[in-house]
Chains A and B, each alone.
Chain A
Amino acid sequence: MASSTVETLQSVIQPYKHGFVTEIENERAPKGLNEDTVRFISAKKGEPEWLLEWRLKAFRYWRDRMLPEGDPTWARVSYPKIDFQDAYYYSAPKTKAAPKSLDEVDPELLKTYEKLGIPLKEQERLQGIAVDAVFDSVSVATTYKAKLGEMGIVFCSFSEAVKSHPELVRRYLGSVVPYSDNFYATLNSAVFSDGSFVYIPPGVRCPMELSTYFRINAAETGQFERTLIVADKGSYVSYLEGCTAPMRDENQLHAAVVELVALDDATIKYSTVQNWYPGDENGKGGIYNFVTKRGACRGANSKISWTQVETGSAITWKYPSCILQGDNSVGEFYSVAVTNNRQQADTGTKMIHMGKNTRSTIVSKGISAGHGQQTYRGLVRVSPKAEGARNHTQCDSLLIGDKCGAHTVPYVEVKNRSAKVEHEATTSKISDDQLFYCRQRGLSAEDSVSMIVNGFCREVLKELPMEFAVEAQKLLGISLEGSVG
């Protein structure tokens, strides 16, 4: 990369735009993690006995079987050892009672969401998106609830669902990601504070995008939310998830769990635009995003499609996966991940083919800039009974500058002779020729990079719902400004 181009790009480094802190009173559990912490959280939420028991089972499993082994080290990321006793596991904006409508929500909170470009009040009146706003792991407001309710759709905070639809929660909680699944999922099972719950009844096509907006605010607090989406037979839902956090010097742990269940002929489309604070250019601060996301295509002809645009977090450790149990079920994974400065990402997917004629598609676009390190890690497994299974994987990496890295670790396990599995991978760089070509036409250096990167990601971005695609495109530009060096 020619030096003056580098300088041009370095001169436009943009600070993280969502880095403000909201002054709001919090209620926290005492620092540290033990059975009492788990009981405290459960009591705060007024949970039934069975849920507390489930949490405790998870906690004991974690404490006795997982903690002695330590957190997982197989991912290609490095960070100092986390002291799990030196954090708060519950933080909630202090309110007297759960708000019944937006009018009762703390105006400070509403202002926060407005600053982030998500005016909840406007949203309720004008736009066709239902939003569940989660602030420090606690759901503060859900819009459009009544309208969706008329169709039998349940869209509410997880805590509320435990009270209003305990039978659904109990049947599906942990059915895709069991409490003993992995270090961070198990930790989440013990201490999760809130999240979103969605249920779409048989034959219903959800008429609007459902969206959860996660905001981390409190300091020194781990974030553990849990999302559960169940699409009953023949239903359809498109769900969006967005995330931001303030800029803080210390690292914050975010360990969420998302479970999706699609029954016969149901489709779930799950889109994420993740923009947690990535830390500064020297790698100070930022979110550790250690997330377990998994969907079960339980019914025949069901479909689960993951689309993610990951631009934030200091470290990302995330593998949205599909278990293709139903015959003819379909799993998709479309991903764009950006690592700039000192960011690290180890991300990919697992496609587990169990039913007959199951199909999966993986399209992964990784962009590394600065000192960013990125690994695609994917597993395609075809089990003996998955007659006629097909997978296509395409895995492309784009490097900007000469100090970053891209790595590809595809695992393929095929136990059925009729399977067809394809894997394509490329690695490329933004060339001086491309940059000069764009600039000769009048585009600034940073707009040129942004345009080239957006072109590189087009296959994935076109999978996003309209409202999100625009945001994602802008985000890619911002994340990479000042990236060549």
Chain B
Amino acid sequence: MLEIKNLHVEVDGKEILHGIDLSLAAGEVHAVMGPNGSGKSTLAYVLAGRDGYAVTKGEILFQGKDLAAMSPEERAREGVFLGFQYPVEIPGVSGLSFLKAAVNEVRKHRGIKELDAMEFLKFVRAKLKMLEMGDDLLKRPINVGFSGGEKKRVEVLQMAVLEPRLAIMDETDSGLDIDALKIVSSGINALRGLDRSMLVITHYQRLLGYVVPDKVHILSGGRIVRSGGKELALELEEKGYAVLGADAA
């Protein structure tokens, strides 16, 4: 699904990622853990194609295609979804109309018939039911005045609605209390599937108690310093980043 080979990334002329290799098969969930400043968010942004994150060496292949050559919207339409650490507010634009536009862009790209307002509503309601959510948040302007937990729940809902093939969750657990964390985690789990891969980026182990990864990678100083099974996350919790050869958190 996703092949990252010897990836070097610069931001403002400064190299942040120094040769990342990562291979994510269809249906797998990998966790990327690391202390602050290790390059976690840079990895998320470069995969999504944010301006200013330049690939200077190496390649990113997504379903065999060169991801780095695509615009952010092309990547999204191909099935790359980024769950934001800080979802932005867009005043005056309701979640429903925003998502309808997004879903139809994806459908257009894939050559499927676009949904009209009624069809879309039906489609969204099914997703809301699956995630045990009401539609109240979607009727409001997107993220405006939402609590931290509400923002993250809507991110997960957007993922459900857009049905991506690769979902990158950037510190989805940050700023959540334990109840919100449980709700968001169960949402993510509900969306795991054989045709969907996930890259869960987190600082702490606690999310991984709910969303159990197939593999864990530890990122430090722009390099993956260790990879292992889910038990690596537990080891990390016990001993801290320093012991694992990573910079202190």
Residues of chain A at the chain B interface (Cβ within 8 Å): 2-5, 8, 431-434, 436-445, 447, 451-452, 454-459
Are B51 and A440 touching (Cβ within 8 A)? no
Given the complex of chains A and B, what is the CA–CA distance between A433 and B89 in angstroms? 9
Closest to A462 in B: B92
- Note all chain A residues with C-beta closer than 8 A to B98: 438, 441, 451
B4 within 8 A of A: no
Are B71 and A443 touching (Cβ within 8 A)? no
Given the complex of chains A and B, what is the CA–CA distance between A436 and B99 in angstroms? 15
- Note all chain B residues with C-beta closer than 8 A to A437: 84, 87-88, 90
Chain A binding surface, main DSSP class:
helix
Are A454 and B93 touching (Cβ within 8 A)? yes
Given the complex of chains A and B, what is the CA–CA distance between A3 and B76 in angstroms? 20
- Note all chain B residues with C-beta closer than 8 A to A458: 92-93
Are B90 and A455 touching (Cβ within 8 A)? yes
Closest to B105 in A: A442
Are B105 and A443 touching (Cβ within 8 A)? yes
Closest to A456 in B: B92
Are B90 and A438 touching (Cβ within 8 A)? yes
Are A442 and B76 touching (Cβ within 8 A)? yes
Are A434 and B90 touching (Cβ within 8 A)? yes
Min C-beta distance of B122 to chain A, whole Å: 20
Are A440 and B87 touching (Cβ within 8 A)? no
B137 within 8 A of A: no
A and B contact pairs by CB, cutoff 8 A, 25 listed = A2-B51, A3-B51, A4-B51, A433-B86, A434-B88, A436-B48, A437-B84, A438-B90, A439-B72, A439-B76, A440-B49, A440-B73, A440-B75, A440-B76, A440-B81, A440-B82, A441-B99, A441-B158, A442-B77, A442-B103, A445-B73, A451-B90, A451-B98, A454-B92, A454-B93
Q: Taking each of A2, A438, A454, which has the highest tally of chain B beta carbons within 10 Å of its own beta carbon? A: A438
- Note all chain B residues with C-beta closer than 8 A to A444: 73, 105
Closest to B87 in A: A437
Partner of B102, one of A442, A457, A459: A442
Min C-beta distance of A243 to chain B, whole Å: 26
Closest to B78 in A: A442
Given the complex of chains A and B, what is the CA–CA distance between A439 and B76 in angstroms? 8
Given the complex of chains A and B, what is the CA–CA distance between A451 and B49 in angstroms? 20
Closest to A447 in B: B101
Are A452 and B90 touching (Cβ within 8 A)? yes
Are B73 and A442 touching (Cβ within 8 A)? yes
B162 within 8 A of A: yes
Are B101 and A456 touching (Cβ within 8 A)? no
* 10 closest Cβ pairs, A-B complex: A455-B92, A2-B51, A455-B93, A458-B92, A442-B105, A441-B102, A442-B76, A439-B72, A439-B73, A433-B88
Given the complex of chains A and B, what is the CA–CA distance between A433 and B142 in angstroms? 14
B141 within 8 A of A: yes
Are A441 and B84 touching (Cβ within 8 A)? no
Given the complex of chains A and B, what is the CA–CA distance between A120 and B147 in angstroms? 51
Given the complex of chains A and B, what is the CA–CA distance between A454 and B94 in angstroms? 11
Are B88 and A452 touching (Cβ within 8 A)? no
Given the complex of chains A and B, what is the CA–CA distance between A392 and B106 in angstroms? 42
Closest to B103 in A: A442
Min C-beta distance of A415 to chain B, whole Å: 36
Known: A434-B88, A455-B90, A455-B91. 15 other contacts (CB 8 A): A4-B51, A5-B51, A433-B88, A436-B50, A440-B84, A441-B98, A442-B73, A442-B76, A442-B102, A442-B162, A443-B105, A444-B73, A454-B93, A455-B93, A459-B92
- Note all chain A residues with C-beta closer than 8 A to B87: 437
- Note all chain A residues with C-beta closer than 8 A to B49: 440
Q: Taking each of A2, A434, A455, which has the highest tally of chain B beta carbons within 10 Å of its own beta carbon? A: A455
Are A451 and B93 touching (Cβ within 8 A)? yes
Min C-beta distance of A68 to chain B, whole Å: 48
Are B93 and A452 touching (Cβ within 8 A)? yes
Closest to A437 in B: B88
Closest to B89 in A: A434
Are A440 and B48 touching (Cβ within 8 A)? yes
Min C-beta distance of A472 to chain B, whole Å: 14
Closest to B73 in A: A439
Are B71 and A439 touching (Cβ within 8 A)? yes
Given the complex of chains A and B, what is the CA–CA distance between A108 and B213 in angstroms? 70
Min C-beta distance of A451 to chain B, whole Å: 6
B109 within 8 A of A: yes
Are B72 and A455 touching (Cβ within 8 A)? no
Given the complex of chains A and B, what is the CA–CA distance between A403 and B215 in angstroms? 49
Given the complex of chains A and B, what is the CA–CA distance between A434 and B102 in angstroms? 14
Closest to B93 in A: A455
B52 within 8 A of A: yes
Q: Taking each of A433, A436, A452, which has the highest tally of chain B beta carbons within 10 Å of its own beta carbon? A: A436
